[in-house]
A = this chain, B = another copy of it.
Amino acid sequence: MRLTTRGRYAVTAMLDLALHGDNGPVALADISARQDISLSYLEQLFAKLRKNALVRSVRGPGGGYCLQADSKDINIAVIIDAVNETTDATNCAGKGDCQGGQVCLTHHLWDDLSEQIHNFLSGISLATLTQQQRVKQVCQRQDESQLNVNIKPEGFQLIETLVAP
């Protein structure tokens, strides 16, 4: 179980999908705009998510991605694992070959911690999150600011792009 920004991005994108997927497929371009994640990076992540049967794609105009299962049946741990396929089992975290084929002093501790994290995250589904008030609030804010961007003339959008981090 590796925790990186990549996993965070994947979870964020999947949550966006769960929140906006009621009316057919969601385009990656929309997720990219709402969540400030580069489009091509999203494409890479969703290729992995699709291979792991977490989403399915609809091609052509009006297409995009849908959740493969019900949002209450997709938990956070599964999403992170899907996106970290290259799990090298960081030194200690994987097999017990941390110290020349043997187990290192703190191997069991990190093993316990990994289990702890995994249990926590696999107990949380996308549905759990979409039902939370605090998530709904952020979602609403993002939708509104997205609306503003669409309304703004092109000149303003340019400035915004330059100013943004």
| Residues of A that sit less than 8 Å from B by CB | 3, 5, 8, 11-12, 15-16, 35-36, 76, 90-92, 99-100, 102-110, 113, 116-117, 120-121, 124, 129, 132, 134-135, 138-139, 141-142, 164-165
Looking at chain A's contact residues, is the secondary structure mostly helix, strand, loop, or mixed?
helix
What separation, in Å, do the CA atoms of A135 and B100 have in the docked complex? 17
What separation, in Å, do the CA atoms of A18 and B26 have in the docked complex? 55
**Copies held by the complex:** 2
B138, A35: Cβ atoms closer than 8 Å: no
Q: Chain B's nearest CB lies how many Å from the CB of A160?
A: 9
What separation, in Å, do the CA atoms of A90 and B8 have in the docked complex? 11
A8, B110: Cβ atoms closer than 8 Å: yes
Give 8 A-B contacts (CB < 8 Å), ordered by A residue.
A8-B92, A15-B105, A16-B105, A35-B99, A36-B104, A102-B141, A108-B134, A108-B135
Q: Which of B12, B91, B102, B124 is A105 in contact with, Cβ under 8 Å?
A: B12
A106, B164: Cβ atoms closer than 8 Å: no
B142, A105: Cβ atoms closer than 8 Å: yes
Determine the residue in chain B with the shortest Cβ distance to A76: B109
Q: Chain B's nearest CB lies how many Å from the CB of A162?
A: 13
